[in-house]
Amino acid sequence: MMALDESWYSEIHGKDGSAFSFKIKEKLHEEQTEYQQIAIYQTETFGRLMVIDDCVMLTDRDNFLYHEMMSHPALFTHADPKRVVIIGGGDCGTMKEVLKHPGVEEAWQVEIDQRVTDLSEEYFPELCSANKDPRAHFYFGDGIAWMADQGEAAFDLIIVDSTDPVGPAAGLFTQAFFANCLKALKTGGIMVQQSESPIYHSDLIAGMHRDMKAAGFADTKTLDFPQPVYPSGWWSATMAAKGRDLNNFRETDIANKPFETLYYNLECHHKSLALPEFMKKALAK
């Protein structure tokens, strides 16, 4: 058995008895902010890597999978999304994808920790390339409190691009937060939230469906996608719709989308909605 020396960074998934390791060239930055510990590394094969509280957030090499799948399926499921809010998402990769949609008139990023965005502008400029778009707005504060303060029917789409459901993000995975999202959405509106690994966290995903329905959402659906650097290499996002179902999406618009993606397309959208047997069982419980 080969042991890894200190030139490797490992995210250890203690409860699941697994780990993912990167060969590191150098540590570029480390700081403890008011909210969390942020570290940035230059890796040998994944470009730059951002870690928050010992959890991998993103790498240059594979972040397109997550950012495209957190945004485009929900944007193309909505009939005509104009006002969008991203809760979390401090690296700005989701904002960049949202603003590729010409119909979006206004997008807000509500991130608790301004240092995540400042460091992303410095170390991940590619992800921040749309930050100067006049439609982009930034608010730094707690997304849970911010959502509670929103008026009724203010948004078409809410994207919750958060850290894992611990620390400042724990309250984003609750029925009370979902109820505030429901209130802030227009009828026909959609929320989509990162929902961890299908294989490691199917109970959490099932709980999100229950809590979203209990909050008053009319329909919920989970989509999945590969994410090599997250625990298990397989990730998910869960959508919830206000006053409509999630059975249809704008297939012709996807086929003719006026922008480039690296992963997302019509076939991948369909594929992402195919639920494996164990997930059907978990959601039926």
Residue ranges that bind ligand SAM, judged by CB under 6 A: 55, 57, 66, 87-91, 110-113, 116, 142-144, 161-163, 168-169, 172, 194
**Cβ-closest residue to ligand SAM?**
88
Is 133 designated active site? no
Q: Between 199 and 266, whose beta carbon lies closer to ligand SAM?
A: 199
Q: Which of 161, 203, 219, 253 is catalytic?
A: 161
Q: Is 165 annotated as a binding residue?
A: no
Q: Is 236 annotated as a binding residue?
A: no
Q: 10 Å Cβ neighbour count for 277?
A: 7
For the record, the structure tokens of 104 come out as 């979006």
Q: 10 Å Cβ neighbour count for 3?
A: 5
Q: Is 143 annotated as a binding residue?
A: yes
Q: Between 112 and 158, whose beta carbon lies closer to ligand SAM?
A: 112
Residues 6+ apart with CB under 8 A from 59: 22, 43, 46, 47, 48, 49, 50, 229
Q: How far is the CB of 187 from ligand SAM (least distance, A)?
A: 25
Q: How far is the CB of 284 from ligand SAM (least distance, A)?
A: 26
Q: Is 67 annotated as a binding residue?
A: yes
Q: How far is the CB of 147 from ligand SAM (least distance, A)?
A: 9
Q: How far is the CB of 196 from ligand SAM (least distance, A)?
A: 8
Q: Are 105 and 135 in contact (CB under 8 A)?
A: yes
Q: Between 69 and 185, whose beta carbon lies closer to ligand SAM?
A: 69
Task: Work out whether the CA dihedral 279, 283, 284, 285 comes out positive or negative.
Answer: positive
The number of angstroms, rounded, from the C-alpha of 20 to the middle of its chain's C-alpha atoms is: 20
Q: Between 183 and 244, whose beta carbon lies closer to ligand SAM?
A: 183
Q: Is 227 annotated as a binding residue?
A: no
Residues 6+ apart with CB under 8 A from 113: 33, 34, 35, 36, 38, 90, 140, 168
C-alpha span between 202 and 217 (Å, rounded): 20
Residue ranges for the binding site? 36, 67, 91, 111, 142-143, 161-164, 168
- Known catalytic residues are 161
